[in-house]
Structure 1
Amino acid sequence: MNQDFIEKDNISIASYFYISGFSGIPHMRYYIFLFFVYIITVLGNSCLMFVIVTDRNLHTPKYIAVFNLSLTDICESTAVIPQLLDTFLFGNQWILYGLCLYNMFSVYLFLTIKSLILTILSFDRLVAICLPLRYHMIVTHRSMLVIIGASWILALLLTITGAIFLSRLSFCKVIVTVNSFYCDHGPIYRSACNNNFPNSVIANLFPAIIIGFPVFFIIFSYTCISVTLFRITTPQDRQRATKACTAHLILVAIFYVAITFTYAFWSFINTNTRIINLSLTSALPPMLNPIIYTFMTEEFMVSAKRLLKRRFIFPSRK
């Protein structure tokens, strides 16, 4: 493909980027399974959101956060999987400059929001177990909506800032190759030939905000929760409190372990290993989240069964 430069404000903007991705990895056609992952993700999270909206018993601050997590999972999968399939199964590895910026913005926006919502859910568990008598005073519908709204605003500000600084880069090469499965910020800014120091700062600062602080807060929260659990004398109460945290802990482990390892040791990891790890980390957790919440959260299971019986098995007769 021929590629020209667009001159704008003395900045050379490449018309296209080439998404190289999985170079040298055989059997990439098996990535078609991500199409079914995407379908399950959309259906599973849509059902989760439907149950939360329909059942009044789930109209609580905690499930406001869970609803937003499901919405973010759908948006994240929509930003990642269709582009990934189009790129590597249908060979459309060229992407327009504007679409590349939009793709990067979308992926990082929903990644950031998801990380912040998981942090909010850990705060919810922290207050519920460590300060049970004050829970309904601290965690209200209004406070939860304010926190989630602030998270969306913070995520928008961070991703818009990253996109603006990336748009100020100038590219000297005729073909700019992006060694990733999407328009990844790191490979793009390192391909620029003008001053990329601001983008370098962003590349190091933003992961600390998006991943580092949430991981630190979640560890702190569950340290406090563990101390509180040891002080609970009744085995039944301890088991109930532990079960209430299990689903969230699994979601946290699935999301953070792989992505933290990748970003912490990216310079020591093979490019293909990094790409495969990030692609699966972006695609699989959104599918698993509704499954985990459905089968490991008792109150949600009760609501789902009640709704199923009322709407489909024993519908009211008019």
Structure 2
Amino acid sequence: MALGENQSSGATEFILAGFPNLNSTKTELFFVFLLVYLLILTGNMLIVGVVGADTRLQTPMYFFLGNLSCLEILLTSVIIPKMLSNFLSRQRTISFAACIIQFYFYFFLGASEFLLLAVMSVDRYLAICHPLHYPLLMNGAVCSQVVLACWMGGLFPVLGPTVAVALLPFCEQDAVVQHFFCDSGPLLRVACTDTKKLEETDFVLASLVIVSSLMITAVSYGHIVLAILRIPSVSGRQKAFSTCTSHLIVVTLFYGSAIFLYVRPSQSGFVDTNWAVTVVTTFVTPLLNPFIYALRNECVKEALKDMFRKVGAGFLGDLLPVKSFNRKTVK
């Protein structure tokens, strides 16, 4: 039994309003977002595959990159499939349970990604500023423990606010979420009770995760810039900075949109602009990640080329014996 059924007039499902004033272009938007989603899946799966398969990429930086791609795949898969189905549906409904699950996994995976981005910045700091101690400080065991901490750091803190949201009374007549998924602000806005304390709690948690990880990233890159400026040769400075620029681009996009969305005392009062900014974290950043890291990184490009060569050679190797056998049979 859904929690909403315990209330005399509680909502057992919600209507996702989706994108405002775009009803006339729903079909076109469906195919655009479907293409973007397929590109996100393909690009990030390629990163995960090549990092796991190529021994040249068995380093902390690429290990973290593979985990980042896993988070991007999961984060977009929590949101986009339901959004795509709503483009083709007249009702655009989501059950109470599915909405709460979507709410939980979106914030769990998002928090884990913030923590992982901070760890990646610390990794670059250690690699550039302490190269002699780097292999000892970032060995395999340490990297595994740090990544596990990032996943757990998002898994548990979000659980309390999710339970609190699930226990809120939602009135059936006002169960329209002004968004394309069950985001915090739009969902709290349709509650039939005062959500001020819960919004304040969300603000504190979001500030702790986002601002603290941003501070770690900023301090790490501050030390990195100072270290790079001390390198005497221009080519040495360019090489050192090139290992950080990809991560810095992703950090700027992800943190900028997240701070606008969640680091503010009241989220329910800004729902009209939420959907536009959320597109950055839901579509733009996951789509750009593989291209930014692959196209700007020679090691990843070489590893991808080798992987495609092996796959192509294996495919042709399976076909050639069949063709040879057929020729002998004809003779």
Same fold (TM over 0.5): yes
Counterparts of 1:156 and 1:296, CA distance in 2: 32
Aligned residues: 313
Q: Percent identity?
A: 26
| Per-residue Cα deviation, 1:73-104 (whole angstroms, up to 9, x for no partner) | 11111111111122244234221111110111
Alpha-carbon distance change, 160 to 263 in structure 1, aligned in 2, over 3 angstroms: closer
Structure 1 position 20 matched with structure 2 position 17:
yes
**Which residue number corresponds to residue 181 of structure 2?**
182
**Which residue number corresponds to residue 201 of structure 1?**
200
Alpha-carbon distance change, 28 to 113 in structure 1, aligned in 2, over 3 angstroms: farther
3-state SS in 1 of match to 2:5: strand
Q: Which amino acid aligns with 2:186?
A: P
Q: Which amino acid aligns with 1:275?
A: W
- Superposition pairs for residues 166-315 of structure 1, below 5 Å? 166-172=165-171, 174-194=173-193, 196-264=195-263, 271-312=271-312
Contact 1:129 1:228 in 2 (8 A): yes
Contact 2:16 2:180 in 1 (8 A): yes
Contact 1:169 1:195 in 2 (8 A): no
Alpha-carbon distance change, 264 to 31 in structure 1, aligned in 2, over 3 angstroms: farther
Alpha-carbon distance, 1:24 to partner: 3.0
Moved more, 131-140 or 171-180: 171-180
Counterparts of 1:214 and 1:225, CA distance in 2: 16
Counterparts of 2:217 and 2:61, CA distance in 1: 16
**Which residue number corresponds to residue 93 of structure 1?**
92
TM normalised by structure 2 equals 0.85
Alpha-carbon distance, 1:151 to partner: 1.1
Alpha-carbon distance, 1:206 to partner: 2.3
Which consecutive unaligned segments of at least 5 residues does structure 1 have? none
Alpha-carbon distance, 1:67 to partner: 0.8
Alpha-carbon distance, 1:18 to partner: 1.9
Counterparts of 1:200 and 1:252, CA distance in 2: 25
Moved more, 217-226 or 81-90: 81-90
Alpha-carbon distance change, 93 to 311 in structure 1, aligned in 2, over 3 angstroms: closer
Contact 1:86 1:92 in 2 (8 A): no
Contact 1:17 1:96 in 2 (8 A): yes
Moved more, 62-71 or 272-281: 272-281
Q: Pick the structure with greater CA Rg.
A: 2
Q: Which amino acid aligns with 1:298?
A: E
Counterparts of 2:206 and 2:294, CA distance in 1: 30
3-state SS in 1 of match to 2:241: helix
Contact 1:171 1:192 in 2 (8 A): yes
Q: Which amino acid aligns with 1:31?
A: L
Contact 2:125 2:223 in 1 (8 A): yes
**Which residue number corresponds to residue 31 of structure 1?**
29
**Which residue number corresponds to residue 323 of structure 2?**
none
Moved more, 15-24 or 159-168: 15-24
Alpha-carbon distance, 1:240 to partner: 0.8
Alpha-carbon distance change, 28 to 317 in structure 1, aligned in 2, over 3 angstroms: closer
TM normalised by structure 1 equals 0.89
**Which residue number corresponds to residue 80 of structure 2?**
81
Alpha-carbon distance change, 23 to 317 in structure 1, aligned in 2, over 3 angstroms: closer
Contact 2:254 2:280 in 1 (8 A): no
Counterparts of 2:273 and 2:262, CA distance in 1: 12
| Per-residue Cα deviation, 1:159-206 (whole angstroms, up to 9, x for no partner) | 222211112212345332212211112222343334535422332112
